[in-house]
Structure 1
Amino acid sequence: MIADESKGRLWLFVGGLFLLALVSMSIGKYAGPSEIWRALRAAASGEATDPVLSTVLWNVRLPRVVGALLVGAALAAAGATYQGLFRNPLVSPDILGVSGGASLGAVVGIFLSLPVLAIQAMSFAGGLLAVAAVYAVGVAIRGRDPALTLVLAGIAIGALVGSGIALIKILADPYDQLPAITYWLLGSLTAITRLDVASILPALLIGLVPLVLLRWRMNLMTLGDEEAQTLGIDTRLTRAALVAAATLITAAAVSICGIIGWIGLVIPHIARMLVGPDFRRLLPASMVLGGAYLLIVDMLARSIALIEVPLGILTAAVGAPFFLWLLASGRRAWQ
């Protein structure tokens, strides 16, 4: 009965997400809802449309909506994986240094005045290299608690990466490079294109496949290493596969939009409250809610001010108070 209710809620989320995407397509300063809906009807019927309006719809709005859905879903899926894997509700996708490594790669690319695609590639590679360094340190130390060892190594590598970013910001041109670096670190979907969306799809698919295939093992990993090993799970191999998959999708998301915090921390909590802790339901629910949340934040970023507000500011402004409410409302469970 509970499983049926969870599935019903999940399909309700999917339907709401589809409607939300249509609403997001119609919000913007150039063309309002009536023009966008008219262009959509014309495209569906094969009629001719205003070329400028068509460009706005298919080359600006659609990539942005799809990008928000993919990035939000990826960050939420990674957050749900990390929280279950490390059995810690305060863990987020940047705990192993992936966001910091991706930031350092992008900052170096901006500092070297590289093309946009090269900056995105360096960001993606930086995220993967940072987590690889964390995992190498964790394996070399071989502490009694592998999960805790990885978290501590991630904190250390993150601090080292943060110092590198600060150094480059000091050395950067204050009139050209520094504003670009600062804006990228705050996160934005303003310049996202169809090519950007297509470029991260392979990494997202490759990263999500292990999460789906290992979803039942993920449930066992939340019991702890000793219990999981008793049930026949190779915890080292499973942890490595799950960390690699979550890191891959996080690095891909960050590479095209910059740092967007709080999604991977808050959204899995909301999904867990709605569908329960079973990872088989938690993963799709987190992805749907993450995509919806980033769509809503992106709509706010486009409409609440004369200039576009970076997404990282809004996700922190909305996510932090909500997370404090979660802590207060669930204090007995936390204790």
Structure 2
Amino acid sequence: MSRTALLALALGLAAVASLGVGRLDIPVARVIRILLSPWIAPAVPVTPLEWSVVVVVRLPRVIMAVLAGAGLSLAGATLQGVFRNPLVGPQVVGVSSGAAFGGTLAILLGWHHAGLLGSAFGFGLMALVVVFLLGRLVARHDLLVLVLGGVIVSGFFSALVSLVQYLADSQDKLPVIVFWLLGSFATANMEKAALLAGPVMACGGGLLALRWRINILSMGDADARALGLSVGRLRWCVLLLTAAIVSAQVAVSGMIGWIGLVVPHLARMLVGVEHRALLPASALLGGLMLLGVDTVARTATASEIPLGILTALIGTPVFALLLWGTYRHG
């Protein structure tokens, strides 16, 4: 069995196990019977409490955690290939900050889910385009400029987010904005899961379909053109797809950092650098990792820990170890 298949199997088992973990612990076998109860009646009837806990409360949250983790990791691995820089990620190149400003602005103006998603996508894409154009204007072939441009754009949009927080009503809008920015699936429901599933499934499928072209693009523009690719059109297409995925995640669950930066590195250790294997592995591993983090966030303490805090606490030392190991071994 391939490593990608093993990751898919591990993700499926972890998802089912996560449905049984919480204030009310339910055995895995019972969880499976509850999920199958609409089609196969179990020997012991499913109680309304069991159905509510597993299907109504936990299932949308598990779906959102898997989709968000898979989308962020897939976007991160794609951006690293397109920019040919392993230090690039959705948060580093400014997409997350731009989408966060769009989301906070939508909350301030009282827009609902569709408006929030549209605003987050628009400003997330704007941030990515500015970083890309800045890199071309300053030093076309210097990839470090892209990272520095991302730092500049992220700082600018972070200042705008702070301005929105300053202008927000401290009794009404501000607590919602602050909680949303910290990242959480506490308000998960099937409506939000469907809102996230659309962009992640459609745009993620597009990136997976383009993965062999991303392979060629990661070799450099000159080689890609020599092989007949329309580099500019392909790059813009990839940027649009990644911006849609990250913006959808930010819109429904707030800022969740480090997943899109760290997970692709772990996936390379498992399947190598070839994008036809790397992108699916990154998506599966990202879904598995964020599902695990979310399970810890909702069960470790009496009050839920925001995901943005946990992913930063876990991601920073892991990335530091990966960076140290990479340079230590040349």
TM-score normalised by L of structure 2: 0.90
Alignment partner of 1:32 out of 16, 26, 29:
26
Alignment partner of 2:116 out of 107, 115, 119:
119
Alignment of 1:164 onto 2:160 = yes
Counterpart contact for 1:123–1:254, Cα < 8 Å = yes
Q: Which moved more, 1:230-239 or 1:36-45?
A: 36-45
| 2:249 maps to amino acid | A
Counterpart contact for 2:297–2:307, Cα < 8 Å = yes
Q: Which moved more, 1:27-36 or 1:101-110?
A: 27-36
Counterpart contact for 1:86–1:148, Cα < 8 Å = no
Counterpart contact for 2:117–2:247, Cα < 8 Å = no
Alignment of 1:85 onto 2:79 = no
Change (3 A) 1:160 1:283: same
> 2:106 corresponds to which residue?
109
2-side partners of 1:227 and 1:38: how far apart? Answer: 54
RMSD: 2.3
> Percent of counterpart pairs with the same letter?
40
Deviations 1:35-77 (A, max 9, x none): 6455346445235532232122212111111111110000000
> 2:17 corresponds to which residue?
23
Deviation for aligned residue 1:181 = 1.4
Counterpart contact for 1:210–1:241, Cα < 8 Å = no
Change (3 A) 1:209 1:19: closer
Alignment of 1:217 onto 2:213 = yes
Alignment partner of 1:59 out of 56, 61, 66:
56
Change (3 A) 1:119 1:75: same
> 2:238 corresponds to which residue?
242
Alignment partner of 1:180 out of 162, 173, 176:
176
Counterpart contact for 1:101–1:123, Cα < 8 Å = yes
Counterpart contact for 1:102–1:254, Cα < 8 Å = yes
> 1:287 corresponds to which residue?
283
Deviations 1:283-304 (A, max 9, x none): 0100000000011001100111
Deviations 1:187-224 (A, max 9, x none): 10110111111123232233123322221121122222
Deviation for aligned residue 1:117 = 4.9
2-side partners of 1:278 and 1:91: how far apart? Answer: 17
SS at match of 2:99: helix
SS at match of 1:59: helix
Alignment of 1:129 onto 2:126 = yes
2-side partners of 1:133 and 1:228: how far apart? Answer: 23
State the 4+ residue runs in structure 1 displaced beyond 6 angstroms. Answer: none
Deviation for aligned residue 1:329 = 1.8
2-side partners of 1:129 and 1:185: how far apart? Answer: 19
| 2:14 maps to amino acid | L
| 2:90 maps to amino acid | P
Counterpart contact for 2:106–2:119, Cα < 8 Å = yes
Change (3 A) 1:171 1:124: same
Deviations 1:151-202 (A, max 9, x none): 4544333222111111122222333322221211111011011111112323
Deviations 1:50-105 (A, max 9, x none): 22321222121111111111100000000101111111111111233221111111
2-side partners of 1:51 and 1:131: how far apart? Answer: 47
2-side partners of 1:276 and 1:308: how far apart? Answer: 36
| 2:11 maps to amino acid | L
Q: Which moved more, 1:67-76 or 1:158-167?
A: 158-167
SS at match of 1:189: coil
Alignment of 1:327 onto 2:327 = no
Deviation for aligned residue 1:319 = 1.1
2-side partners of 1:322 and 1:187: how far apart? Answer: 20
Unaligned runs of 5+ in 1: 1-6
Counterpart contact for 2:87–2:147, Cα < 8 Å = no
Equivalent pairs, count = 327
Deviation for aligned residue 1:241 = 1.6
| 2:107 maps to amino acid | I
